[in-house]
Amino acid sequence: MADETQTETTEETTAAETAEPKGPSSMADQIPEMSDSQLAALLANAEKISAAPKHAKKDMAAELIPLIGEELDKRAVIKQAEQAERRQQQAAKRAETRRIAKAQKEAEQAES
């Protein structure tokens, strides 16, 4: 019976020791998986908390602000690149449509 209690205690201790730490590092790890709206909310909260003179999590919030900013900047660059590619694809599709229409018109005129 004593062995079972000791085993349970050891398992609990091991689980507690391997648990991820709470704070900026664990939150920072979650930033890339967050949606844009979640990032915006987190940024607003972090700015509000870091501005509070005596908030317990002021330092953690201040550490998160640049990380959130970097992620938002990275996403903005990716979105701009995707938009530019979409524009190029749409322009190429319009050019192809015009080319086909012109060829059909020329073929019809040749038949006449």
Residue at 36 is within a domain: yes
Residue at 57 is within a domain: yes
Task: Encode pLDDT of 3-23 as tens digits.
Answer: 554 544 444 444 434 444 455
Give 70-76 contacts, CB < 8 A, sequence gap 24+: 71/31, 71/32, 71/34, 71/39, 72/36, 72/39, 72/43, 75/36
The list of the chain residues with pLDDT below 70 reads 1-25
Q: Count up the domains in the chain and report the number.
A: 1
Residue at 1 is within a domain: no
Residue at 6 is within a domain: no
Owning domain of residue 55: 22-86
pTM score of the predicted model: 0.61
